[in-house]
Chains A and B, each alone.
Chain A
């Protein structure tokens, strides 16, 4: 039973750690399926975290914080779009540049506004997304097996967590069951064909990066005012890249993206949990192994050992209309 409690604790941790990855990876999914590589996920997440923390602090409302996060993230997306769609710039360069802008600008603005070394003041109460206790969680707690799972893993998360899991089927439906999704995927595979059909490739791709910005807004907000209570310098700490790895690992498909994010979150949770504990027969396992695993798994996948990861064909290629 003790082991089961530990498992429940790790699963709860997994959920909390996966959410920012999930939003970000879904953002990357929309962008990359439309043929726009998005290294700038990390920067968008960071900028959104900053904006949401500032807005939540100033207005005292977590929802306005979320709005601000989404707005800034979309703004970053539009800049990325302007550079790489309108001006046909290199998408990787533009994304990396945005990451640097986000890291620098958040700290500079934070320092100028609040004078706390780039941090924003702590928010509390209504300014944060607090855990929601689902109905019956306390009553269920004593039911064996499912009780603790329901009370500690499914219940007790904040609203953004549930939104993240709802976003997965929604993303699948949009991408694979709507006209918008079909065109979006087509733009990423063969933009010429879409253009021949009389659909604007540029506008299509812009809409894709706006959706990406929208989703990154959620992940940044989650980091700043749901998981923490303030913005802290470079708080995204590479999560944008892990999300990108999850996206590749899941071969650019929505439901596998969710499982990849949960897997990476689980590895992170294990790493936290295993610290300083010794495993029977093996002894103490360095936690860095778990922290490196997401990247190792992605490399193994890219090397072709776990099936083939085929990126959208027109990914990274600016579309030039034939003359």
Chain B
């Protein structure tokens, strides 16, 4: 009897620890690929950090086409993975479908909002981060002309461009901003040749700082800018190291935090559904300064950017969000 009790207790204790530690997190990337040195790589970074800290293994999947996302999410959910994190707006409808089918699984979607009781939607105030890098671009530009190269032509990317324009104008009201999009399909995230060509066009028109918000296509933008001795601005991850001295700064979007927090909260049983909107105030978006670009960012520029940050947090500077009314004031 005593023995059975002990065994029972032991089993209970084991299952209790098992519950706390044994989560099976899964991560579905966007179609740009895991190592795009940008958006998806940031997500990967967050997952790796969690793995390093807790020793909990996670599974991930790199969809190569828009149709694979739903399969991947459903696959993970049906095999008992929890939480299932999907990064990219492209999985919105997939998430709506699958999350409804698995009400006991916790889901997280990044860059889109899915209104279900078991889904956490993490969105970023990209316009604020883009405003900051726009401000820096406006100050760094000698010609008074700067460029923006977006990936796929969607409201989310226009939001980057719109925030950037506002930042540039804040630094230099007379500045001219050229805006281009690589394409209108998912392939636009993976076309550095066209992105580079668009960048060259902008440089020919006089632009000397070009902001890339185009996933892996952005590599072509930074490359072309570096080849022509102009400045590029990276996006999502810190891309300053790609061409040291030729990347002015990067608009860092902390996708890693979203993934890390999703895993961590589920493990600690602190998962909350609903919308999380991360801006400058929450350190969800910021501009990057490191040893690769500290020569390029003058103390005045840094001071101006820090002031803008404080103003945004204080609410004295309001950066217009393109997606709120699908238009840009400028």
Q: Which residues of A does B touch, CB under 8 Å?
A: 5-6, 8-9, 12-13, 16-17, 107, 115-119, 122, 131, 152, 223, 227-230, 232-235, 237, 268-269, 272-273, 275-276, 288
Contact = CB atoms under 8 A, between A and B. Distances in A.
A115 B35 contact: yes
B36 A237 contact: no
Nearest to A236: B193
A272 B194 contact: yes
B294 interface: no
A268 B190 CA distance: 17
B190 A233 contact: yes
Interface residues of B, number: 31
A291 to B, nearest CB: 9
A17 B190 contact: no
B253 interface: no
Given A229-B223, A233-B190, A9 B204 contact: yes
B22 interface: no
Interface string B193-235: 1101110110011000000000010011001000100000000
B197 to A, nearest CB: 5
A6 B51 CA distance: 52
B121 interface: no
A275 B193 contact: no
Contacts of B32: 117
A237 B40 CA distance: 21
A271 B187 CA distance: 16
A115 to B, nearest CB: 7
B62 interface: yes
Nearest to A13: B197
Nearest to A116: B35
B179 A228 contact: no
A117 B36 contact: yes
Contacts of A8: 204
A86 B299 CA distance: 70
A235 B193 contact: yes
A272 B192 contact: no
Contacts of B187: 234, 237
B192 A235 contact: yes
A230 B200 CA distance: 18
A227 B201 contact: no
Given A119-B33, A228-B223, 11 more contacts: A9-B201, A13-B200, A16-B200, A117-B34, A122-B223, A122-B242, A228-B192, A228-B220, A232-B190, A234-B187, A275-B198
19 contacts: A6-B204, A12-B200, A13-B197, A16-B197, A116-B35, A117-B34, A117-B36, A122-B242, A223-B193, A228-B196, A232-B192, A232-B216, A232-B219, A233-B33, A234-B190, A235-B190, A237-B193, A237-B194, A276-B181
A229 to B, nearest CB: 5
Contacts of A229: 223
Contacts of A13: 197, 200-201
Nearest to A9: B204
A118 B36 CA distance: 10
A192 B312 CA distance: 79
Contact of B197 (A5, A17, A117, A119): A17
A126 B36 CA distance: 24
Contacts of A115: 35
A5 to B, nearest CB: 7
Contact of B204 (A5, A117, A131, A227): A5
Contact of A275 (B64, B181, B190, B220): B181
Given A119-B216, A223-B193, A272 B201 contact: yes
Among B204, B205, B242: residue with most chain A CB under 10 A: B204
Given A117-B62, A228-B223, A272 B198 contact: yes
Given A117-B34, A232-B192, A269 B205 contact: no
B92 interface: no
A119 B33 CA distance: 9
Contacts of A235: 190-193
Interface in B55-113: 62, 64
Given A237-B187, A275-B181, A269 B197 contact: yes
B245 to A, nearest CB: 13
B240 interface: no
Contacts of B33: 117-119, 233
Contacts of B118: none
Contacts of A288: 184
A52 to B, nearest CB: 14
A228 B191 CA distance: 10
B232 to A, nearest CB: 13
Nearest to B199: A272
A272 B193 contact: no
Nearest to A227: B193
B180 A237 contact: no
Contacts of B219: 122, 230, 232
Contacts of A276: 179-181
A277 to B, nearest CB: 10
A227 B219 CA distance: 12
A232 B188 CA distance: 12
A296 B140 CA distance: 44
A7 B62 CA distance: 42
A315 B52 CA distance: 60
Nearest to B32: A117
A131 B229 CA distance: 13
Interface in B16-47: 32-36, 40
A22 B34 CA distance: 33
